[in-house]
Amino acid sequence: MNNINSNKENQFDVIVVGSGMSGGWAAKEFTEKGFNTLVLERGRNIEHGDYPTATMEPWNDDQNMVIDPKVIDENPILSKCYAFGRATEHHFVKDNEHPYVQVKPFDWIKGYQVGGKSLMWARQVQRWSDLDFTANAKDGHGVDWPIRYADLAPWYSYVEKFAGISGNKDGLEQIPDGEFLPAMDMNCVETSLKEKIEAKFPFTNYISARTANISQRHNERGPCMYRSRCERGCPFGGYFSANSSTLPAAKKTGNMTLRPHSVVHSVIYDDAKEKAIGVKVIDANTKEMTEYYSKVIFLNAGTLNTTGILLNSKSERFPKGLGNEHDVLGRYLMITITGEA
Kindly state the percentage of the chain with pLDDT values over 70.
96
Domain coordinates in residue numbering, the chain: 3-120+250-312, 130-211
Helix, strand, coil share (%) of the chain residues, nearest 5:
30, 15, 55
In sequence order, the 6+-apart residues with CB closer than 8 A to the CB of 251 are: 258
In sequence order, the 6+-apart residues with CB closer than 8 A to the CB of 249 are: 28, 31, 32
Integer Cα distance of 309 and 266 in angstroms: 5
Q: Is the pLDDT of residue 341 over 70?
A: no
Given a contact cutoff of 8 angstroms between Cβ atoms, the answer to whether 149 and 128 are in contact is yes
Amino acid at 244: S
Higher pLDDT, 103 or 231: 231
Q: Is the pLDDT of residue 297 over 60?
A: yes
Integer Cα distance of 207 and 204 in angstroms: 10
| Spatial CA neighbour of 330 closest among 314, 316, 300, 309 | 309
Q: pTM to 2 decimals?
A: 0.93
Q: Is the pLDDT of residue 6 over 60?
A: no
Amino acid at 283: D
Helix (H, G, I), strand (E, B) or coil at 255: coil
Integer Cα distance of 24 and 18 in angstroms: 8
Q: Which fold has domain 3-120+250-312?
A: FAD/NAD(P)-binding domain (3.50.50)
| Spatial CA neighbour of 296 closest among 311, 277, 312 | 277
Please write the tens of the pLDDT for every residue from 136-145. 999 988 889 9
- Phi and psi dihedrals of 242, rounded to 5? -60, -40
Pairing of strands 262-270, 275-283: antiparallel
